[in-house]
Structure 1
């Protein structure tokens, strides 16, 4: 049996209603309400369990006017994953909705890009427009992990374990990385915020919060190159993921979806 084939899951823990125009630079002519979903991702295989991003907690949800459906820890436990037993957390970037719950994984090593750590602790954070998507507490917590020797830094593309690699994309955040996973159906790419919605990559559009529009658009090409097909690329906030992919097991519909099987397309 191959030692580099993994299962991949999307755990939806929160949602947020918003106008469709809020999802795109230059807006959208369809002035209607829509929603975005918030996920963390779980990779399970012969080398253990890897959690991709850590979401946000109830305090952050209240501060940012978001609604948690199921706390992140509950979703992990529904998959049989105990947070204190997780050995590795891949931080795609340090925005507040991806880097919270920083005490949930007390024994994990964190994987982050050099560029992202420099970005969220450097001069750009002196500008409110760039600092807005970051939480000071989340950044402090990651710095503390650095000084506790619990962070592995990556510079560009790198292997985390056989069949699991990270790839620097940038764009939405300066040091954002996606995760490529070898599965039974080919290479699945967890894009995180390198692509928020299917419509972004399909229509060449950009989410309003971005460090570089050019890097975002070029990043779409890289995502599609890394994935075995367009249907192997999983966006970071699209509610359609909950409809396209089957539940990990009965009772977890619309909550925990399995991504290493073919979507309903």
Structure 2
């Protein structure tokens, strides 16, 4: 395993598996000055790799549900793992940053994995807030039931607000976007990188100090910006979950992977 001194370092691969080129700023930001202007939304999930060891961060989106929600699938994230010699059957650790449908579409593809998720997120998706359409609209009932089944099989770790998943990988509650939203801190060769997941959909939220439009608690969403900055070595070490700029900033994982899989553990490219 690759180590820096006594500390494990990971490579981070961002899989761009979907996109929506019809998304408007008005759907992304509250009271935006140009609500009808198009702001493309991309969809990412990630895997961490250290030698032969891999950790999955979110599982992407089911193709049928993507179509129903108006998104375009670009690739199958599970099949893409095999392009890197990673067999889903061999995966032991999957982190679910929250349970929105674009993060939980392939739970069944990892039959031997243990799933790690905030206990607050499970309480949220099985509790009274789901009686309100505003809070439940980004969740899929069958995927919630699937996670409950995994829990009853003893395959889910519903952890507290801060948890070390492995040496060099930890998760931290920030809330905001949903009750159990967490971020993932990863040690890499260039320092500590934070996969913000949906605590940041776009870099613009961090740059301007504004919230995303889909929120459970707006104050927690804004407070998360400070927490993200505390955990990352710099703003250049922060990776949002839906910004097309990720593809422009970071190098592809190899020939043929341009626009599909990019290495965010490497330094960003100059503009």
Q: What residue number does 1:75 align with?
A: 80
In 1, are the aligned partners of 2:28 and 2:214 still within 8 Å (CA)? no
Q: What residue number does 1:10 align with?
A: 14
**Aligned-residue offset at 1:47:** 7.9
Q: What residue number does 1:203 align with?
A: 208
**Aligned-residue offset at 1:142:** 0.3
**Aligned-residue offset at 1:46:** 5.4
TM, length-normalised to structure 1? 0.97
Q: Distance in 2 between matches of 1:207 and 1:33?
A: 15
Q: Is 1:64 aligned with 2:100?
A: no
User: In the TM superposition, what whole-angstrom CA distance separates every residue of 1:85-139 from its partner, at most 9, and x where no partner exists?
Assistant: 1111100000111111121111111000010000000000011111101110110
**Aligned-residue offset at 1:61:** 1.3
Q: Distance in 2 between matches of 1:64 and 1:29?
A: 23
Deviates more, 1:185-194 or 1:79-88: 79-88
Q: What residue number does 2:29 align with?
A: 24
Q: What residue number does 1:161 align with?
A: 166
Q: Distance in 1 between matches of 2:83 and 2:51?
A: 20
Q: What residue number does 1:124 align with?
A: 129
Q: Which runs of 5+ in 2 are unaligned?
A: none
Q: Distance in 2 between matches of 1:189 and 1:79?
A: 22
For residues 81-230 of structure 1, the aligned pairs below 5 Å read: 81-230=86-235
**How many residues in Structure 1 have an aligned counterpart in Structure 2?**
265
Paired residue secondary structure (2:107): coil
User: In the TM superposition, what whole-angstrom CA distance separates every residue of 1:4-50 from its partner, at most 9, and x where no partner exists?
Assistant: 11111100000012112221011232632221110110011158210
In 1, are the aligned partners of 2:27 and 2:35 still within 8 Å (CA)? no
Q: Structure 1 residue runs of 4+, over 3 Å off?
A: none
Paired residue secondary structure (1:43): strand
Paired residue secondary structure (1:34): coil
Q: Distance in 1 between matches of 2:33 and 2:163?
A: 37
Q: Distance in 2 between matches of 1:46 and 1:160?
A: 17
